Structure 1
Amino acid sequence: MRRGVLPAVVVTALFGLYLWAVVGKGIALVRTGDPFGVTMGLAALVAPLVCLGLIVREWQLAFTVQKMADLLAERGELPVDDLPRSPGGRIDRAAADAAFEVARARAEAEPDSWKAWYLLSFAYDAAGDRKRARAGLRKASALFRAAER
């Protein structure tokens, strides 16, 4: 089993238990017929469903990113983390910025390439920009799924 999968499965299972408990309470509140109880019950039903949608979205992203990584590994094109590091393990900022510029230029030159966006997302991560790294993975994932069709 890949590293990180077990904790994700455990957290998802715990969320399932939470969802089961909250939905049960929400239904009970709606059944009271009291306007306040109905309102609270509906809120109790909507919030976990929104969270469930977000969790499904994250699992879909994870599976797609893994497919992309497997395909790149098959081709021998998986990015290698060879950036210089400090003795404490931090990536050298100048090296990360230089690698980022190369990846950004490639993504700009090939805006419809899932591989370019995949590589850019890892360059963002190395540069410390986790938000853009995740957005890059989402873009790569969307392009990859579109290419599979």
Structure 2
Amino acid sequence: MRSKITYFLLAAVLVVYFFLAGTRGWILIRDGRPVTVAFGIAVLVLPLIGIWFLWRTTQFAVRAGQLARELEAEGGLPEDELRRTPAGRIDRDSADEVFARYQAETEAAPQDWRSWFRLAVAYHDARDTPRARRAMQRAIALHRGTAVRR
């Protein structure tokens, strides 16, 4: 719950920033001089990119949450069997062991979104965020029926 509040708070701050930057860009464009028009257009592009990025990130989070709820209802969420350090961090060797199991599961069933979801969690536990995100994107695409067949 705390992470959702933080996410929405940061998203709101970004939206305010995008609005302020957009208005400044518009003011520069309305000035009419070629240099200020060019700067104004450049300033308007940044909020547009930011809005697109925020939208895509929000879609990803919502869809991953939907998959998690569906998998939980099926009883298929991975159990937390990882060892932890005294500080509470996940033990790297433990994460690697669990990862190997979920990787084998995904290799055995490459078209099953559930195995890709569990692999994404294993990547995350192993602190490999880029691969975790790609695996979750694959799970989402398979669940939606839009994954490219390999």
For the residue of structure 2 that corresponds to 1:4, the secondary structure is helix
Q: Does 1:56 align with 2:55?
A: yes
TM normalised by structure 2 equals: 0.91
Q: Which consecutive unaligned segments of at least 5 residues does structure 2 have?
A: none
Please list the CA deviations of residues 104-130 of structure 1 after superposition, one character each: whole Å capped at 9, or x if unmatched. 111122222111111001111111212
Q: What residue in structure 2 maps to residue 94 of structure 1? A: 93
Q: What residue in structure 1 maps to residue 145 of structure 2? A: 146
Q: What residue in structure 2 maps to residue 66 of structure 1? A: 65
Q: Offset of 1:78 from its aligned partner?
A: 1.3
Q: Counterpart amino acid of 2:127?
A: G
Q: Does the 8 A contact of 2:21 with 2:47 survive in 1?
A: yes
Q: Which moved more, 1:86-95 or 1:35-44?
A: 86-95
Q: What residue in structure 2 maps to residue 83 of structure 1? A: 82
Q: Offset of 1:93 from its aligned partner?
A: 2.2
Q: Counterpart amino acid of 1:56?
A: W
Q: Offset of 1:86 from its aligned partner?
A: 2.0
Q: Counterpart amino acid of 1:90?
A: R
Distance 1:104 1:130 in 2: 15
Q: Offset of 1:94 from its aligned partner?
A: 2.1
Q: Does 1:31 align with 2:30?
A: yes
| Number of residue pairs the alignment of both structures matches | 146
Question: Percent identity, aligned pairs only?
Answer: 36
Distance 2:133 2:24 in 1: 35
Please list the CA deviations of residues 8-47 of structure 1 after superposition, one character each: whole Å capped at 9, or x if unmatched. 1111111111111111111111112211111100011111
Q: What residue in structure 2 maps to residue 105 of structure 1? A: 104
Q: Which consecutive unaligned segments of at least 5 residues does structure 1 have?
A: none
TM normalised by structure 1 equals: 0.91
Distance 1:22 1:88 in 2: 42
Distance 1:83 1:130 in 2: 18
Q: Which moved more, 1:123-132 or 1:41-50?
A: 123-132
